[in-house]
A = this chain, B = another copy of it.
Amino acid sequence: MIETPYLLFLGDAPDQLAAKVAVGIKDWRPENAVGQYRMDDCKADLGLTDMTLTEAKEAGAKTLVIGVANRGGVISQEWKKVLVMALEEGFDLASGLHNLLRDEPDLVAVAEATGQKLHDVRVPEVDYPIANGKKRKGKRCLAVGTDCSVGKMYTAMAMDAEMRKRGMKSTFRATGQTGILITGDGVPLDAVIADFMAGSIEWLTPDNDDDHWDLIEGQGSLFHVSYSGVTMALIHGGQPDALILSHEPTREHMRGLPTYQQPSLETLHDTALALAKVANPDCQVVGVSVNTQHMSEEDAIAYLATIEADMGLPATDPFRFGSGKLVDALAAM
């Protein structure tokens, strides 16, 4: 979908956090990042080679990816200069910004004149089908959360990396803009029309080898009333063979919903599994992924041990302790 490898545009990022998307690409798909492009007052640094557009082109880069959030929702004139030059040098552009490249008449005009592509990964570029529910070959794993933003993408990314390290067949399947920019492909599920949500996930995870795993990026939560429909479509469109439960134990309420409490892991287990069995009666819950970033290491270890004892499932924080236990569980299926 998006041609790789990339030159990562960091612009005038005020700090490293603003370049979150670029950091994600460099961490998870270093082979997609031939270098970084920083403007004079850029405060972020990925530790990649600083390149001019010409140098990056010579090094094989195909797409300039905007790996940084812009200020105030406006693509500034300073950025524009670089973006226009990049198009003229033969780069495609890719962006996950709210304000779309395609809404900037000057970028559109230059892209047309040069024959280069503008990828706004927040906007679907495919006419997805309505889901048909047909059983597909190959295996699929989906992380479902007690809440939004508890580490579902990270879990799937980490499992995919571990599986490839072990020589297992796996593919991370992105369903959000960051994941799409990292891998160059995927479905921007939150922007898909309601009737086609489940179908877009079927499209994303087609027939595959019997021993191949799709690691599907989760979204939302069945217990988050703003986004639960999106989660439901992932469960039924993805027809997962394996579910991972994702949790962040220190939240005081559901993200953005002060009067809503997180469900217990047991409630999530039973609810998600029953719904998943509608599409795949053989589905199993195989492990728990806990985001322990707000806990001490000692507390994290104790918490994971309690979960393992209570739930009878392997539990880990993939960022802190690796995803090996979860991959072991998939390998054992």
Contact = CB atoms under 8 A, between A and B. Distances in A.
A142 interface: no
A230 B231 CA distance: 11
Which of the four size classes fits the interface of chain A? 35 or more
A130 B194 contact: no
A193 B191 contact: yes
A276 B228 CA distance: 11
A174 interface: no
A177 to B, nearest CB: 12
B222 A275 contact: yes
Contact of A226 (B130, B222, B274): B130
B271 A230 contact: no
A278 B263 CA distance: 9
B237 A233 contact: no
A260 interface: yes
Nearest to A135: B259
Contact of A194 (B134, B229, B278): B229
Contacts of A275: 222, 228, 271
B190 A192 contact: no
A282 to B, nearest CB: 14
A223 B279 CA distance: 9
A83 B279 CA distance: 45
> Would you list the 8 A-B pairs with minimal beta carbon distance, nearest first?
A229-B233, A225-B236, A232-B232, A229-B229, A131-B226, A190-B195, A229-B232, A133-B225
Interface of A: 130-135, 189-195, 197-199, 222-223, 225-233, 235-237, 239, 254, 256-257, 259-260, 263, 271, 274-275, 278-279
7 contacts: A133-B259, A190-B195, A193-B193, A195-B230, A222-B278, A225-B279, A226-B236
